[in-house]
Amino acid sequence: MPSAVFVQAKSGRGVETAEKKDGEDFAMTVVNAAKRVYRFAQGAAEGNAGMRALLGGKGANLAQMCLIGLPVPPGFTVTTEVCGFYERHDRTCPDGVGREVEMALEAVGRQTGARFGDRSAPLLVSVRSGAPVSMPGMMDTILNLGLNDETVESLAVHTQDRRFAYDCYRRFIQMYGDVVLGLDRALFEDALEHYKDRHDLAHDGDLAAQDWQEMIAIYKTTIAQQRDGKTFPQDVHEQLWGAIGAVFKSWHNPRAATYRKLNDIPENWGTAVNVQAMVFGNMGERSATGVAFTRNPSTGEKELYGEFLVNAQGEDVVAGLRTPHNMTESARLASQSDKPSLETLFPECFAELRAVNERLESHYRDMQDVEFTIENDTLWLLQTRSGKRTAPAALKIAVDMVDEGLISEREAMMRIEPESLDRLLHPTLDPRAECEVVATGLPASPGAVSGELVFDCDEAEKRHGAGRKVILVRIETSPEDIHGMHAAEGIVTTRGGMTSHAAVVARGMGKPCVAGAGGLSVDYEGGRLIAGSLTVNKGDILTIDGASGRIIKGRVATITPEISPDFTRLMRWSDDLRRLKVRANADTPADARAARDFGAEGIGLCRTEHMFFHEERIPAMREMILAPDRQGRVRALEKILPMQRGDFIEMFEIMAGLPVTIRLLDPPLHEFLPHGEAEIAQAAEAMGVEPDALRRHICELHEFNPMLGHRGVRLAITCPEIARMQARAIFEAAVEVGRRGGEPVIPEIMIPLAAMRAELDYVKRHIAQVAEEVRSQTGRRPQYSLGVMIELPRACLRAGDIARDAEFFSFGTNDLTQMAFGVSRDDSVRFLPDYAAKAIVDHDPFTTLDRDGVGELMKIAAERGRATRKNLKIGICGEHGGDPASIDLCEEIGLDYVSCSPFRVPIARLAAARAVIARNADMTSHA
């Protein structure tokens, strides 16, 4: 009887026939609570694409592909629930799972004409992980399982290729030793290298059947030595359960745990295990294996894209040790490759794959990343999933799919992570800049970035932690490098293709990456990067351009990218849908201009103290803060007034009638005080006082906790002349803009850090007096509204009272978070990462609003404020105003607007639209 391998190799459709006979084995999509093993084979499956949580993404999609009749080797999926049970019950499976697996194995055997462990027609299987969301490369896989000293002989006979059979067996032993038995992979790699050296063999390809046979013996000895004489298991069932257990266990390995943390994947989801009949891409020159994307994952172009290797197994493609072939002739020509494309080498499989891809894409209505194997000219599909893509590709694909009628505008918006827009707005290299190109590699993930060259991932993390930017250069990356990649601004590898680990992970992270820069050689020990006669040392600045693949010595100027028509359309759809207005936090005319360019509908926060951070303005500010008396302060304020007025005029003109919220001065004073002897001497001279006297005064102003000190409205109460000067600058600027014929401006004056209505009341009276003075001086009555920044818990609780005097509220959630948690904004980094690592908090509350605490305070404030004043306008201007998850909460609370930094305005526009969609949940969703 022919082996499973043989049946499939001869006729892909043979499986279908066999499966039909086995129809009674399939309970189709009836989900049985006690069922833990779901079978699939071409034409029928017990699962479907909607069962990702239970079957994992891979298992659910394998089932779905079978349901739509695509050529998938038969197999079965052990559910994610078993993974959880396995961990909780001392690494044992629930009762009955063993029987279910045995029955499923028998079914696969019937479908392939083989039997697991059978000497003459052995069924060989792969055992792979598959989490509910894709975690590429994070967990373990075992191929060629079912081989032992007997079955390998049968494989050799059936394939008439002893070399192939022994190579498969040694690969299996090696993988099993590493993944299941937990032995160091290097033991096997070193043994192989040693063997090659001894026999003068350069490449794996030079080893003959006899050599692999000897390697098998060496590997088996290695295993026995490492395990106190316990040998490599010959019992195929022991092999299988060892592999299933290892895959479950790999859910908990450190790299998978890091990946989950970085991607917010819950710990308790678990992985499924997929056991599937093997097909071989390494069965000779008419076999191949590769990955095919239904669209180009870098650009989003609609073209069959990907790469493959002839006579290879999947792991060879990922390892990136051999340069892959292109799929199409046009891609081959464009990359000037001399390796024939799939289109010319395997024309029939290519045509079939193209048709399959089209079906998959219209079925899933999303770009797919398909793993395929060709075994002796027969095409097999091993996986499909939504393809990872760059931000520009995500945008193009979403917009194109709307135009193609595949998805709705709402779905398109839900397909694009707001955060990813950041990458579309990232700088690219200035084409006019001089570049000393060290080497060029594959343009694996776009974006241009500079940083210090590092080779080591721990070091990348350390330097990043110290606030430095680094470029991580590795020969190739592996999942162990994830923390270093995360810390780096950009990644370079000297080996590997567009689908290598580095390329895939960097794209997912949105980081620039240049992969496979073969012209570079890495000297890890010497800390050097060598390209011909050029050397770059560790710590030197390197610039990389992930769009062109260039690696450049030194820092290179960058430019902000053009906004594409697709981007404009996405923003228009978002604007049509969202309810929340989006404003920007802008402190200077330049910020205001950027804010408008990004589509801000006003300024939600102008931090007036930031207008004085310039070198030439700081002295006036210092003079004001350090003035010994009111008179001195008034003198300093007179110098500040024209500066403020000038800035406001410019900002009002730029904003052309849009609302502008100006916050009265709120400087933690220490930020402005002179530091060090030289600065003190300089300031003393400018102020005409003795340095000693000034030093004493600075000491008197010292605060134990400036963030809880003399700032915000407290300054306006102790020194009302400051608030009066600012109000005058605002009113005079508004009058001046009106006089020049500009759009009428109604400035919103915002009082920071108020806790009590009485504080507001006091400042309000001063401002009203200034308005009256300006009216009598100019003959024009300044129009303005007055509001409060809600950033203290007391203000939230007393919002009903405060709203009597305030026409608007703006949540200052940076301070509100600080005050609610009692955690200093400036010192939180010392311990909050531990909180996250120990799962005490899900997110840094300074990045994403703490829904349960701070969110609750906001709800209370909004409700009480609006109970007093029905039309109270409410916004948010803390950093959270640009964070998508926080924007969702703002929508839920019913705020009127969010305000964030200008670059985040597009992110906020999209996030606000998505918040509406999520609320209504009325999209015709597709999982």
Nearest to 624 by CA among 695, 675, 683, 576: 683
| Positive or negative: CA dihedral 31, 32, 34, 40 | negative
Residue with tokens 């063999």: 201
Q: Which of 220, 593, 607, 926 binds ligand PEP (CB under 6 A)?
A: 607
Which stretch, 493-501, 737-745, 757-765, 811-819, contacts ligand PEP (CB under 6 A)? 811-819
Partner from ligand PEP, Mg ion, none contacting 847, C-beta within 5 to 8 A by type: none
CB of 862 to ligand PEP, least distance (A): 16
Binding mask 572-591 for ligand PEP (x = CB under 6 A): --------------------
By the 8 A CB rule, do 407 and 521 touch? no
List Cα–Cα distances, 94 to 86, 97, 273, 711, in angstroms. Answer: 8, 6, 15, 62
CB neighbours of 367 closer than 8 A, spacing ≥ 6?
Answer: 293, 294, 295, 297, 361, 386, 387, 389, 393, 397
CB of 877 to Mg ion, least distance (A): 8
Cα separation, 203 vs 189, whole angstroms: 13
CB of 180 to Mg ion, least distance (A): 55
Which stretch, 571-579, 592-600, 800-808, 810-818, contacts Mg ion (CB under 5 A)? 810-818
Residue closer to ligand PEP, measured from CB, 647 or 791: 791
CB of 874 to ligand PEP, least distance (A): 14
Which stretch, 117-125, 139-147, 425-433, 809-817, contacts ligand PEP (CB under 6 A)? 809-817
Residue closer to ligand PEP, measured from CB, 178 or 609: 609
Q: Which of 481, 815, 850, 883 binds ligand PEP (CB under 6 A)?
A: 815
Binding mask 813-842 for Mg ion (x = CB under 5 A): --x---------------------------
Residue closer to Mg ion, measured from CB, 400 or 609: 609
Residue closer to ligand PEP, measured from CB, 199 or 614: 614
Nearest to 757 by CA among 807, 815, 805, 812: 805
Which stretch, 183-191, 476-484, 769-777, 813-821, contacts ligand PEP (CB under 6 A)? 813-821
CB neighbours of 641 closer than 8 A, spacing ≥ 6?
Answer: 725, 728, 729
**Residue 848 binds ligand PEP, judged by CB under 6 A:** no
CB of 53 to ligand PEP, least distance (A): 38
**Residue 46 binds ligand PEP, judged by CB under 6 A:** no
Q: Which of 400, 647, 732, 791 binds ligand PEP (CB under 6 A)?
A: 791
Q: Which of 443, 484, 490, 878 binds ligand PEP (CB under 6 A)?
A: 878
Nearest to 492 by CA among 444, 540, 548: 444
List Cα–Cα distances, 354 to 62, 305, 379, 400, in angstroms. Answer: 18, 10, 11, 19
CB of 55 to ligand PEP, least distance (A): 44
CB of 912 to ligand PEP, least distance (A): 19
| Positive or negative: CA dihedral 85, 86, 91, 94 | positive
Q: Give catalytic residue positions.
A: 501, 877
Which stretch, 406-414, 795-803, 810-818, 908-916, contacts ligand PEP (CB under 6 A)? 810-818
**Residue 877 binds ligand PEP, judged by CB under 6 A:** yes
Count the residues of the shown chain that bind ligand PEP, applying the rule CB under 6 A.
10
Which stretch, 299-307, 538-546, 755-763, 807-815, contacts ligand PEP (CB under 6 A)? 807-815
CB of 670 to ligand PEP, least distance (A): 14
Residue closer to ligand PEP, measured from CB, 393 or 582: 582
Nearest to 309 by CA among 328, 332, 326, 331: 326
**Residue 545 binds ligand PEP, judged by CB under 6 A:** no
By the 8 A CB rule, do 389 and 367 touch? yes
Per-residue three-class SS string for 904-927: HHHHHHHHHHHHHHHHHCCCCCCC
CB of 607 to ligand PEP, least distance (A): 5
CB of 789 to ligand PEP, least distance (A): 7
Q: 3-class SS at 123?
A: strand
CB of 880 to ligand PEP, least distance (A): 8
Q: In what side-by-side order are the strands of the sheet with 325-326?
A: 325-326, 305-310, 288-293, 368-375, 378-386
Partner from Mg ion, ligand PEP, none contacting 878, C-beta within 5 to 8 A by type: ligand PEP
Cα separation, 835 vs 845, whole angstroms: 11
Residue closer to ligand PEP, measured from CB, 214 or 856: 856
By the 8 A CB rule, do 734 and 662 touch? no
Cα separation, 212 vs 571, whole angstroms: 59
Q: Which of 812, 845, 865, 875 binds ligand PEP (CB under 6 A)?
A: 812
Residue with tokens 């089209």: 358
Which stretch, 4-12, 434-442, 485-493, 785-793, contacts Mg ion (CB under 5 A)? 785-793
Residue closer to ligand PEP, measured from CB, 175 or 792: 792
Which stretch, 384-392, 732-740, 767-775, 786-794, contacts Mg ion (CB under 5 A)? 786-794
CB of 817 to ligand PEP, least distance (A): 8
**Residue 549 binds Mg ion, judged by CB under 5 A:** no
Which stretch, 247-255, 672-680, 812-820, 912-920, contacts ligand PEP (CB under 6 A)? 812-820
**Residue 813 binds ligand PEP, judged by CB under 6 A:** yes
Nearest to 457 by CA among 485, 476, 478, 479: 485
Residue closer to Mg ion, measured from CB, 705 or 924: 705
Nearest to 422 by CA among 35, 883, 15: 883
CB of 698 to ligand PEP, least distance (A): 23
For 105, the token pair is: 């194995």
Q: In what side-by-side order are the strands of the sheet with 534-537?
A: 521-523, 528-531, 534-537
Partner from ligand PEP, Mg ion, none contacting 369, C-beta within 5 to 8 A by type: none
Nearest to 299 by CA among 399, 437, 403: 399
* Helix H or strand E encompassing 383: strand 378-386
**Residue 812 binds Mg ion, judged by CB under 5 A:** yes
266, 267, 269, 271 alpha-carbon torsion, rounded to 10°: 130
Residue closer to ligand PEP, measured from CB, 366 or 791: 791
Residue closer to Mg ion, measured from CB, 378 or 818: 818
Residue closer to ligand PEP, measured from CB, 561 or 667: 667
Cα separation, 262 vs 57, whole angstroms: 19
Instruction: Centre a 10 Å sphere on the Cβ of residue 629 and count the other Cβ atoms it contains.
Output: 8
Of residues 633-672, those binding ligand PEP (CB under 6 A): 666
Cα separation, 315 vs 371, whole angstroms: 12
Residue closer to Mg ion, measured from CB, 85 or 672: 672
List Cα–Cα distances, 241 to 86, 251, 273, 905, in angstroms. Answer: 12, 16, 11, 52
By the 8 A CB rule, do 124 and 277 touch? yes
Partner from ligand PEP, Mg ion, none contacting 607, C-beta within 5 to 8 A by type: ligand PEP
Residue closer to ligand PEP, measured from CB, 68 or 707: 707
By the 8 A CB rule, do 108 and 278 touch? no
Contact footprint for Mg ion (CB under 5 A): 791, 812, 815
Contact footprint for ligand PEP (CB under 6 A): 605, 607, 666, 791, 812-815, 877-878
